[in-house]
Amino acid sequence: DAYVQRPSAKARFAVEPVSAMANATLCHSDGPDLIQLPQLTIASFVDADRLDSRVYTILDDIRSCLGAYRNVQIYENDNETQGTPQKVTYLDAGELGSYLLRFRHDAHMGLIYLQLENRVSGQVLFNEVIETEQVADFNRLREATSQTVNRIQSHVIGRLRARVGKQPFSRWCQAEALLCEFSPSADRKAVAILDELQAASPNYSVVYSGKASVGLKQLLHYPDFRATQTGSRDVLDLAEQGVLLDPWHVFNRRMHGWSLLQSGYYDEARRAFTEAARLNPFDPTNLMSIAEGMAYIGDVDEARRNAERAFSLFPVIPRFFYEYLANIKFSAGDYTSALELLDRAPTDGILSITTRIAAFLCSGRDGEARDTLDLLARRHAGRFADVTRDRPEEILGWLNRINLYQDPQTRMHYKRGADMVRSYLLAS
């Protein structure tokens, strides 16, 4: 019952040939084809004679984590002996911002002090202390550095998301924030920004991956049966364009993986997800998305590993993470846990409702599955108006398309829920 939607002649997103484009370079430059980023200078104050080797490890891991996000241009002052005045060159990044991250190691106390400063205003944005004894093993090191860098991200990128800018990277931050809202209205606003970016910077790779993200959500989460749908092939074309322009950007790799999965290229999707995890093992959102993708492919053990890492890195768990984890539990055949997690997740998504119905049926709780159909009717009746009567094949195609599970038994179990939804819709 595999379903792959064919490209439409009226596809919503126009794509230029990849051969006509140049690679986008992310750096601080005045060149017309270069994307400027916020600037972050790292200044280290250390006493080399008494330096604990773990300090080097912590600093290197923070540098690696900052670099993995690909959204700041990093500068670094040479290490100088503690107590020696350090001159930091002033850099003006305009609307993107310029920041200074200071390190100081206290060998006697076994502490590393970090301080993030806004170099334009001079404001100290936060201070943090890391105890070297507390990061003696790899997992605790990764947790400490990830949370530190996430705090930096919240200041540097959060500022750009909250205000309207003119630079391409500023506009991308605003589009990305809208994509994270996960609603049709937010996606429409994001596409308007992405269209503007594509016209001004046609070699900016994340533009195409952003549009692929919108297309995937339209295909799976909120289809509009009364409008021309973007096909799975169209979405894959966009994602391939993004990854060809910049194969080292984790967002491009992840969207490529999801697009390959939707199009039925499962081995290639697995490789794309694996590469996305390698490119940024510090970002919990990246790891959780990869975990869900691996669960659909059927690699439950790898899905669990990525999900556990994601949960350990996020200081506050977003509600949508529980829906991802519920899908992983469903793929493992743990339907009771899947239902418990869905109770903690947002409840109004069509896919989460269908998963809930399938989990009830697989648990022998048919009555509760039927009750859940009322939730589907309350939340999404308008979306299916007229379609069930005039174009029932579109309902069937969508229900086949959302069954991404590739393990035969799991796919069959999910199909039970999808079939109940189909019967209910077509009978109403």
Q: What backbone torsions phi and psi does residue 26 show, to the nearest 5 degrees?
A: -100, 110
Task: Give dist(CA 380, CA 382) in Å, integer.
Answer: 5
72 three-class SS:
coil
Q: What backbone torsions phi and psi does residue 13 show, to the nearest 5 degrees?
A: -105, 120
Helix (H) or strand (E) holding 312: helix 300-313
Q: Identify any residues that bridge with 29 across adjacent strands, giving them in sequence order.
A: none
Residues in the chain: 428
State residue 23's pLDDT score. Answer: 44
* Parallel, antiparallel or unpaired: strands 98-106 and 39-46: parallel
Question: Counting beta carbons within 10 angstroms of the beta carbon of residue 47, is it exposed (0 to 12), middle (13 to 18) or buried (19 or more)?
Answer: middle
Sorted by where each begins, the domain ranges of the chain are 37-161, 321-428
Round to the nearest angstrom and report the end-to-end CA distance of the chain: 24
Chain centroid offset of residue 205 CA: 15
State residue 346's pLDDT score. Answer: 80
Per-residue pLDDT 10s for the chain (428 aa) are 333 333 333 333 333 333 333 344 454 345 556 899 999 999 876 555 566 778 888 888 999 999 999 999 998 775 544 455 455 555 666 899 999 999 888 888 888 899 999 988 889 999 999 988 887 788 888 888 898 999 999 999 999 998 888 999 999 999 999 999 888 899 999 999 999 999 999 999 999 999 999 999 989 988 777 666 678 899 999 999 999 999 999 999 999 999 999 999 999 999 999 999 999 999 999 999 999 999 999 999 999 999 999 998 888 888 888 999 999 999 999 999 999 999 998 877 888 889 999 999 999 999 999 999 888 777 766 666 666 666 777 788 888 889 999 999 999 999 999 999 888 887 76
DSSP letter (8 states) at residue 110: T
State residue 409's pLDDT score. Answer: 95
Task: Give dist(CA 281, CA 278) in Å, integer.
Answer: 6
DSSP 75-94: EEPPPEETTS---------G
Using the Cα atoms of residue 175, residue 176, residue 177 and residue 183 in order, give the sign of their dihedral: positive
Whether CATH 2.30.30 fits 37-161: no
Helix (H) or strand (E) holding 58: helix 53-69
pTM here?
0.87
State residue 33's pLDDT score. Answer: 63
Whose tokens are 């295909």? That residue is 219
